Amino acid sequence: MLHIRSATLNYLPYINDIYNDAILNTTATFHTEARTIENNTDWLMERDNDHPVIIAEMNDIVVGFAALNKWSDRSAYDITAEMALYIDKKYRGKGIGQQLLAQILALATETNLVSIIARITEGNEHSIYLHKQQNFEVMGTMKKAGLKFGKLLDVTFLQKMLK
């Protein structure tokens, strides 16, 4: 059975492993260097009520996480967050991402946020489909926005309005 709960420092090693796998082996993130527990401790501890992090746990194993991150450090953007959603590669295709996304969006309705942005890299059509199922709308595509694994990649921007 899948349990979704707020992330705490105890979950950081799992979050770190899942995210580092995405960094080193996928284009789902444009980070190119593995993150440390210290990096992610700061990331988790700097949260406020508008930017939750949740984990999905199955049989005492963290199988994924979702977060609402600050879109910008400029205060006028405080009403917009960026979606992050990562699933352990061994557990993809089992509906976990769908459940995590639905739960983080439910939490978002209880915040001061007005909109959620998702940046999805070329080749990740499943993620675009998943976000569209939750009423995200495509805003556009930045052509050749990033370079990873020697390839120039487009990034599609999606947005969900909360209010």
| Predicted pLDDT at 129 | 97
Examine residue 149 and state whether it is found in any structural domain, yes or no.
no
Examine residue 158 and state whether it is found in any structural domain, yes or no.
no
Examine residue 133 and state whether it is found in any structural domain, yes or no.
no
Examine residue 88 and state whether it is found in any structural domain, yes or no.
yes
Please choose, from the candidates 161, 157, 82, the residue with its C-alpha nearest in 3D space to the C-alpha of residue 124.
157
Q: What is the mean pLDDT of each run of 10 residues along the chain (163 residues)?
A: 96 97 97 95 95 96 98 97 98 96 98 98 96 98 98 98 96
Examine residue 82 and state whether it is found in any structural domain, yes or no.
yes
| Predicted pLDDT at 93 | 94
| Predicted pLDDT at 117 | 98
Please choose, from the candidates 163, 161, 51, the residue with its C-alpha nearest in 3D space to the C-alpha of residue 116.
161
| Predicted pLDDT at 133 | 97
| Predicted pLDDT at 120 | 98
Give the DSSP H or E segment for 132.
helix 125-133
Indicate the pTM of the whole model: 0.96
Q: How many independent structural domains does the chain possess? A: 1
Q: What is the 3-state secondary structure (H, E, C) of 9-69?
A: HHHHHHHHHHHHHHHHHCCCCCCCCCCCHHHHHHHHHCCCCCCCEEEEEECCEEEEEEEEE
- Please state whether beta strands 80-87 and 53-58 pair in parallel, antiparallel, or not at all (unpaired): unpaired
| 96-108 vs 125-133: helix crossing angle, rounded to 10 | 50
Query: Which CATH number do you get for residue 105?
Result: 3.40.630.30
Examine residue 57 and state whether it is found in any structural domain, yes or no.
yes
Examine residue 83 and state whether it is found in any structural domain, yes or no.
yes
- How far, in Å, are 32, 34, 140, 146, 157 from residue 150 at the CA level? 12, 17, 23, 10, 22
- Domain housing 28: 2-115
- How far, in Å, are 110, 119, 155 from residue 28 at the CA level? 27, 9, 10
Examine residue 11 and state whether it is found in any structural domain, yes or no.
yes
